[in-house]
Amino acid sequence: MRQTVGKKLRFDVFKRDQFQCVYCGATPSESVLLEVDHVHPVAAGGTNDIDNLVTACFACNRGKGAEPLTTVPQSLEEKAALVQEREAQIRAYYEVLEQRRARKDEELWAVADIFMERFNEDSILRSRLSSIRMFLERLSFYDVLEAMEIAADKKHSPNPCFTYFCGICWRKIKRANGEEV
Protein backbone atom coordinates (compact mmCIF):
# COMPACT_ATOMS: atom_id res chain seq x y z
CA MET A 1 0.00 0.00 0.00
CA ARG A 2 1.38 3.41 -1.02
CA GLN A 3 2.00 5.78 1.85
CA THR A 4 1.47 9.52 1.21
CA VAL A 5 4.29 12.00 1.75
CA GLY A 6 3.36 14.22 4.72
CA LYS A 7 3.26 18.01 4.51
CA LYS A 8 6.33 18.50 6.74
CA LEU A 9 8.43 16.01 4.79
CA ARG A 10 7.25 17.56 1.50
CA PHE A 11 8.24 21.03 2.78
CA ASP A 12 11.64 19.71 3.98
CA VAL A 13 12.31 18.29 0.50
CA PHE A 14 11.29 21.57 -1.17
CA LYS A 15 13.46 23.54 1.24
CA ARG A 16 16.47 21.24 0.71
CA ASP A 17 16.12 21.58 -3.07
CA GLN A 18 15.65 25.38 -2.74
CA PHE A 19 12.09 25.22 -4.14
CA GLN A 20 13.49 24.32 -7.56
CA CYS A 21 12.82 21.34 -9.83
CA VAL A 22 15.96 19.16 -9.71
CA TYR A 23 15.40 18.11 -13.33
CA CYS A 24 14.76 21.37 -15.19
CA GLY A 25 15.38 24.11 -12.59
CA ALA A 26 11.86 25.55 -12.72
CA THR A 27 10.61 27.49 -9.67
CA PRO A 28 7.20 28.59 -8.38
CA SER A 29 8.01 32.15 -9.51
CA GLU A 30 7.65 30.79 -13.06
CA SER A 31 4.07 29.70 -12.25
CA VAL A 32 5.17 26.09 -11.91
CA LEU A 33 3.55 23.64 -9.52
CA LEU A 34 6.17 21.74 -7.53
CA GLU A 35 5.70 18.16 -6.40
CA VAL A 36 7.74 15.58 -4.55
CA ASP A 37 9.12 12.82 -6.78
CA HIS A 38 10.49 9.45 -5.75
CA VAL A 39 13.96 8.92 -7.25
CA HIS A 40 13.49 5.17 -6.90
CA PRO A 41 9.79 4.78 -7.85
CA VAL A 42 7.32 3.43 -5.28
CA ALA A 43 6.21 0.93 -7.95
CA ALA A 44 9.73 -0.51 -7.87
CA GLY A 45 9.96 -0.56 -4.06
CA GLY A 46 10.99 3.04 -3.41
CA THR A 47 10.23 4.53 0.01
CA ASN A 48 9.29 7.92 1.41
CA ASP A 49 12.77 8.31 2.91
CA ILE A 50 13.95 11.91 2.35
CA ASP A 51 17.02 10.64 0.48
CA ASN A 52 14.67 9.02 -2.06
CA LEU A 53 12.62 12.21 -2.53
CA VAL A 54 13.36 15.22 -4.75
CA THR A 55 11.55 18.35 -5.84
CA ALA A 56 10.10 18.10 -9.35
CA CYS A 57 7.79 20.32 -11.34
CA PHE A 58 4.49 18.82 -12.51
CA ALA A 59 5.75 18.34 -16.09
CA CYS A 60 9.03 16.64 -15.14
CA ASN A 61 7.37 14.41 -12.56
CA ARG A 62 4.75 13.27 -15.09
CA GLY A 63 7.41 12.87 -17.78
CA LYS A 64 9.55 10.67 -15.55
CA GLY A 65 6.59 8.67 -14.31
CA ALA A 66 7.49 5.39 -12.58
CA GLU A 67 10.71 4.98 -14.51
CA PRO A 68 13.89 4.76 -12.42
CA LEU A 69 16.52 7.41 -13.04
CA THR A 70 19.74 6.37 -14.71
CA THR A 71 21.41 9.43 -13.21
CA VAL A 72 20.37 10.32 -9.70
CA PRO A 73 20.08 14.04 -8.96
CA GLN A 74 22.92 15.56 -7.10
CA SER A 75 22.67 14.70 -3.42
CA LEU A 76 22.41 17.35 -0.76
CA GLU A 77 25.91 16.46 0.42
CA GLU A 78 27.32 16.99 -3.09
CA LYS A 79 25.48 20.30 -3.39
CA ALA A 80 26.85 21.41 -0.02
CA ALA A 81 30.38 20.49 -1.09
CA LEU A 82 29.99 22.56 -4.27
CA VAL A 83 28.64 25.52 -2.32
CA GLN A 84 31.53 25.25 0.13
CA GLU A 85 34.02 25.16 -2.74
CA ARG A 86 32.42 28.24 -4.33
CA GLU A 87 32.49 30.06 -0.99
CA ALA A 88 36.17 29.16 -0.49
CA GLN A 89 36.97 30.47 -3.97
CA ILE A 90 35.07 33.71 -3.31
CA ARG A 91 36.86 34.20 0.02
CA ALA A 92 40.24 33.59 -1.67
CA TYR A 93 39.33 36.03 -4.44
CA TYR A 94 38.32 38.70 -1.91
CA GLU A 95 41.56 38.13 -0.04
CA VAL A 96 43.55 38.73 -3.23
CA LEU A 97 41.52 41.89 -3.92
CA GLU A 98 42.13 43.10 -0.36
CA GLN A 99 45.88 42.48 -0.69
CA ARG A 100 45.86 44.40 -3.99
CA ARG A 101 43.95 47.28 -2.40
CA ALA A 102 46.40 47.38 0.53
CA ARG A 103 49.37 47.41 -1.87
CA LYS A 104 47.84 50.22 -3.92
CA ASP A 105 47.16 52.23 -0.75
CA GLU A 106 50.78 51.75 0.37
CA GLU A 107 51.98 52.96 -3.04
CA LEU A 108 49.63 55.96 -2.90
CA TRP A 109 50.89 57.00 0.53
CA ALA A 110 54.54 56.43 -0.39
CA VAL A 111 54.14 59.03 -3.16
CA ALA A 112 52.01 61.37 -1.01
CA ASP A 113 54.52 61.15 1.86
CA ILE A 114 57.29 62.56 -0.34
CA PHE A 115 55.10 65.58 -1.09
CA MET A 116 53.96 66.04 2.53
CA GLU A 117 57.47 65.67 3.98
CA ARG A 118 58.93 68.13 1.45
CA PHE A 119 56.46 70.81 2.54
CA ASN A 120 56.13 69.80 6.25
CA GLU A 121 52.42 69.05 5.89
CA ASP A 122 50.55 66.38 7.88
CA SER A 123 47.76 66.08 5.32
CA ILE A 124 47.18 66.25 1.61
CA LEU A 125 44.17 67.38 -0.39
CA ARG A 126 41.81 64.62 -1.55
CA SER A 127 42.02 65.94 -5.08
CA ARG A 128 45.78 65.42 -4.99
CA LEU A 129 45.34 61.90 -3.64
CA SER A 130 42.88 61.22 -6.48
CA SER A 131 45.41 62.44 -9.02
CA ILE A 132 48.15 60.28 -7.53
CA ARG A 133 45.81 57.26 -7.55
CA MET A 134 44.90 57.90 -11.21
CA PHE A 135 48.59 58.13 -12.19
CA LEU A 136 49.31 54.90 -10.30
CA GLU A 137 46.60 53.22 -12.39
CA ARG A 138 48.23 54.38 -15.62
CA LEU A 139 51.95 54.23 -14.77
CA SER A 140 54.18 51.99 -12.71
CA PHE A 141 54.67 52.81 -9.05
CA TYR A 142 58.32 53.61 -9.68
CA ASP A 143 57.50 56.04 -12.51
CA VAL A 144 55.05 57.94 -10.28
CA LEU A 145 57.43 57.87 -7.32
CA GLU A 146 60.26 59.21 -9.49
CA ALA A 147 58.01 61.97 -10.83
CA MET A 148 57.17 63.12 -7.30
CA GLU A 149 60.81 63.02 -6.25
CA ILE A 150 61.81 65.13 -9.26
CA ALA A 151 58.98 67.62 -8.67
CA ALA A 152 59.74 67.91 -4.95
CA ASP A 153 63.43 68.59 -5.70
CA LYS A 154 62.71 71.24 -8.36
CA LYS A 155 59.77 73.19 -6.93
CA HIS A 156 59.78 74.91 -3.56
CA SER A 157 56.08 75.44 -2.87
CA PRO A 158 53.18 72.95 -2.84
CA ASN A 159 51.03 74.13 -5.78
CA PRO A 160 53.82 74.48 -8.37
CA CYS A 161 55.33 71.20 -7.14
CA PHE A 162 52.11 69.25 -7.61
CA THR A 163 51.45 70.86 -10.98
CA TYR A 164 54.97 69.95 -12.10
CA PHE A 165 54.47 66.39 -10.79
CA CYS A 166 51.27 66.07 -12.85
CA GLY A 167 53.04 67.39 -15.93
CA ILE A 168 55.82 64.80 -15.55
CA CYS A 169 53.26 62.01 -15.18
CA TRP A 170 51.25 63.15 -18.21
CA ARG A 171 54.42 63.26 -20.32
CA LYS A 172 55.25 59.70 -19.22
CA ILE A 173 51.73 58.56 -20.14
CA LYS A 174 51.93 60.22 -23.57
CA ARG A 175 55.34 58.60 -24.22
CA ALA A 176 53.96 55.21 -23.18
CA ASN A 177 51.06 55.68 -25.64
CA GLY A 178 53.44 56.67 -28.43
CA GLU A 179 52.17 60.25 -28.54
CA GLU A 180 54.38 63.21 -29.31
CA VAL A 181 55.60 65.01 -26.19
- Higher-confidence residue of 80 and 123: namely 123
Q: What are the backbone dihedrals phi and psi of residue 54, each rounded to the nearest 5 degrees, phi first?
A: -140, 160
Domain ranges of the chain: 7-73, 102-176
Please state the pTM of the whole predicted model: 0.55
How confident is the model at residue 108, as a pLDDT? 98
Q: What are the backbone dihedrals phi and psi of residue 53, each rounded to the nearest 5 degrees, phi first?
A: -115, 140
CA angle 88, 89, 90 (to 5 degrees): 90
Helix (H), strand (E) counts: the chain? 6, 2
How confident is the model at residue 136, as a pLDDT? 97
Q: What is the mean pLDDT of the chain?
A: 89
How confident is the model at residue 46, as a pLDDT? 84
Radius of gyration in angstroms for the set of CA atoms belonging to the chain, rounded to a whole number: 32
Q: What is the average per-residue pLDDT within 82-108?
A: 93
The beta-carbon contacts of 149-156 under 8 Å, at least 24 apart in sequence, are 149/114, 152/114, 152/115, 152/118
Angle, in degrees to the nearest 10, between helices 126-138 and 141-154: 130
- Model pLDDT for residues 21-45, shown as the tens digit of each residue: 988 888 888 788 899 988 888 888 8
- Model pLDDT for residues 56-81, shown as the tens digit of each residue: 988 888 877 666 655 556 676 777 78
